[in-house]
Amino acid sequence: MDLNADLGEGMDDGPILPFLTSANVACGLHAGGPTTMDRTVAQALARGVRIGAHPGYPDRENFGRTAMDMPLEEVRALVLYQLGALDAFIRARGGRLSHVKAHGALYNRAAKDAPLAHAIAEAVRAYRGDLVLVGLAGSVQLSEARALGLRAVGEAFADRRYLPDGSLMPRSEPGSVLHEGAEAAEQALRIAKDGFVVAADGSRVRVDAETLCLHGDTAGAVEMARAVRERLESAGVGIAPL
C-alpha cells in the first residue's frame, strides 16, 4: 500500500514525510507558490518520497475547495500548465515526476463528471503518457484515464468519512474528518486488508485502493500518519510507493 499526502499547501511538511511513500505537491494555483514548491520537492527527494503533481482550480481564496465552471479545454490547459510548473522544480533537482492527483473540488467533481475526468486525463497523457493518475477509488476519473491508456490508481482516505455511495462526506458536514489517530489507523487497516470502509450510516462500502491519503493540513496530521503507518506495518501490510 502506498501512503500519500497533499503537501506544499502552507504547512510544515517536514515532520510528516518520514511516514509517506508519495507526496502530492500543490502547483501554485490553489495553494503554494514557486518557493514553496521548490522547498517541498527538495524535502521529498531527500527522503526518497515519490513526487506527484496536485493541480487544482485557480482559487486560493477558497483553497480550491469550491467547484468552478470552466470550459473543458481550459481545464485541460490548466492541468497541463500546473504539471509543467512543478516538473521544472523536480527536474532541476534531479528527480522525476511520478503521478498526478487533482485537488479538492476538481478531484471530487472529476470523480462523477466523465467529461471533466476525461479532460484531466487528456492533459496528463499529453504531458507524459507514463504518469500514474490517482483518483477516488471506483470513480469515473479512473475509468476515463484507463480509456486513454493511462495507469489509473484508486485512492482511499484514512482520515475522511465516507457516504454510502462511496463518495466522501462533504467537509461542511460534522464528522466528515477523522481526528483520532487510532480511528484513522483502523479505517486504513480495513481498506488495506479487507477492502471496505464503514460509511456514515454504518453500512459497509467496498473500496478497492492502492494508495491511502493522509491530509497534511488536518490537525494532528503527523501523529495520525505515524499511527496509520505503524498499524499497517504491525498487521503485515507492505508499504511501498506506486
Q: Cα–Cα distances in Å, from 231 out to 32, 218, 225, 242?
A: 31, 19, 10, 20
Q: Is the pLDDT of residue 220 over 90?
A: no
Q: Would you state the pLDDT for residue 187?
A: 97
Q: Is the pLDDT of residue 218 over 90?
A: no
Q: What are 101's three cell numbers? A: 492527483
Q: Is the pLDDT of residue 219 over 80?
A: no
pLDDT, one tens digit per residue, over 177-207 is 998 999 999 999 999 999 999 999 999 999 9
Q: Would you state the pLDDT for residue 201?
A: 94
Q: What are 212's three cell numbers? A: 491511502
Q: How confident is the model at residue 171 (pLDDT cuts 50, 70, 90)?
A: confident
- 3-class secondary-structure state, position 101: strand
Could you give all domains of the chain from N- to C-terminal order, each with its CATH number? 2-234 (3.20.20.370)
Average pLDDT, the chain: 96
Query: Whole-angstrom Cα distance, residue 63 to residue 29?
Result: 9
> Does the reported pTM lie above 0.75?
yes
CB 24 within 8 A of CB 71: no
pLDDT above 70 covers a percentage of the chain that reads 100
